[in-house]
Structure 1
């Protein structure tokens, strides 16, 4: 009996049920078994069913560069985006992934990831010229990538414009409209307003959905938490704003809700102290919770967690540990990066790109384990990612 004859005896519902439990890599191979399987695997209802089953299998897309040392100075090689299983990072952190999974970024950066789609950002421009920004959508599991989006043209209206920091981007899936959206926030120094622009997957233009009082952002990538995109920003509308380095009162978290086309700002933890300047503060998303991290007095590394999004009183001190205890003899020139947290919330994985190490800190027993990053690489960014069959093209 041929395979085709055998499969004809298997009920379609059973085939769908079995296939929906398999990893995307297997499904991409099995699509070649027969036309029926290929049709099933790319059917929108099956893609949705498979995504629902995969939603608990969180991975990371890690942006990394090879570090080259010539005996006198350090240099960096090409930048790659590589998917890692979080379980792999905690259970076998010294292992590497198959080189077939490497994706060379070629000047792009990762804006964010949602439902298995990774949003890549690119820009072009020179000083005192119009800057052009665009995005592409990439599915690492299926290796499909969209065309470039239409350009977002930005006129640098002041000498302080920085093409990599004066404009911010974020990426999310709007459940109400069932549309993947890229949001951009731009501080317009002429109007003294923050402009919020949106591009929809498959659309033909960027749309300015609203403007609001100026909140200059301090970091480029917005953090997706609870259906909103969030940036650390300066509250220039505050009546007590002063351009001083010894206070952090004007800093807020600027939060955009694309379902409602609204914004709000969230206050930082009240317990923040001894922060020398704004550059010490950063935000990150860990296990669907907004976190804030910083150096304190060049002696401690501190991480805060907002346990209930939007509730400022829910800020909780997640860790406050000396560099010495983390087996770091001196404060790193580059800030430590919280990459991920274990499922039970007890172990944080930190990356130290000064010495190319991963540090695992156990909050419960205060233990520390330090492991070299594989292949002498620097790891710059970690983005939550779920392998899926979601198409990067307009449906």
Structure 2
């Protein structure tokens, strides 16, 4: 059937379909698989989704059942009254996952609150698939780290950046230079990079990050000031 439909029209039609339908349609034929998995189509479908849907994902942890709940609200006149709960397939023995960040419908999760060797997971709740990343470099000495999650602006590959701080002589986690690693979607290991990290403390128990305009941003601090630490993830 696709032989009789202009390719440009086929792209416009498929880009308006939900992700679950596109997953099934990859099996129609080789040409549809190549089209749906191409970076150009993925970017077009993501842009269309962003301009036609307004949804808010809320994470709720309930102490009674010690479980995380992910609730999806639609931004319309019924906001707050109707929502759908996403199936959350992960459980940890103590506490809950840190939501490192989100990008194009993917969530990066890490259970580092109460573990020395935490799992880092990329989770796509819309298609119920996840990937646990390889174990990164672990210093032999006491250390802490921060993570960042983003997508490359042209290749659309998802990336996780990790900045590791070893304990300094003053017992603070501010030993410089810090070590920086990047994990790229589909790779089997992390790679170290020589990016310069300014001598400011990003790491703390409740650290946060945000991906905006092609760069990952963290809040950093000195003893007497606060500043915004940012860097491109490539």
TM-score normalized with structure 1 length: 0.47
Q: Is the 8 A contact 2:103 2:150 kept in 1?
A: yes
- C-alpha deviations, 1:198-246, integer Å up to 9, x for none? 32223322415334324153432312233333333331xxxxx4xxxxx
1:93 deviates by: 0.7
1:258 deviates by: 2.2
1:187 deviates by: 3.3
Q: Aligned with 2:101: secondary structure?
A: strand
Instruction: Give distance in 2, aligned partners of 1:132 and 1:109.
Output: 14
Higher RCO, Cα 8 Å, sep 6+: 1
TM-score normalized with structure 2 length: 0.73
1:171 deviates by: 0.8
1:77 maps onto 2:77 in alignment: no
1:18 deviates by: 1.0
Q: Aligned with 1:234: secondary structure?
A: strand
Q: Rg: which structure is higher? A: 1
Instruction: Give distance in 2, aligned partners of 1:27 and 1:176.
Output: 22
1:19 deviates by: 1.2
1:28 deviates by: 3.3
Instruction: Give distance in 1, aligned partners of 2:107 and 2:9.
Output: 31
What residue in structure 1 maps to residue 123 of structure 2? 138
Out of 17, 21, 28, the position equivalent to 2:23 is: 28
Structure 2: runs of 5 or more not aligned: 169-173
What residue in structure 2 maps to residue 232 of structure 1? 219
Instruction: Give distance in 1, aligned partners of 2:40 and 2:62.
Output: 41
Cα 1:39/1:51, change in 2 over 3 Å: same
Task: Decide which structure has greater strand share.
Answer: 1
Instruction: Give distance in 2, aligned partners of 1:22 and 1:146.
Output: 24
Instruction: Give distance in 1, aligned partners of 2:153 and 2:121.
Output: 21
What residue in structure 2 maps to residue 281 of structure 1? none
1:65 maps onto 2:61 in alignment: yes
Taking only aligned residues, the RMSD between alpha carbons, in angstroms, comes to 3.3
Cα 1:170/1:63, change in 2 over 3 Å: same
Instruction: Give distance in 2, aligned partners of 1:61 and 1:194.
Output: 37
1:197 deviates by: 1.7
Q: Is the 8 A contact 2:181 2:191 kept in 1?
A: yes
What residue in structure 2 maps to residue 198 of structure 1? 181
Cα 1:223/1:251, change in 2 over 3 Å: farther
1:17 deviates by: 1.6
Q: Aligned with 1:183: secondary structure?
A: strand
Cα 1:253/1:194, change in 2 over 3 Å: farther
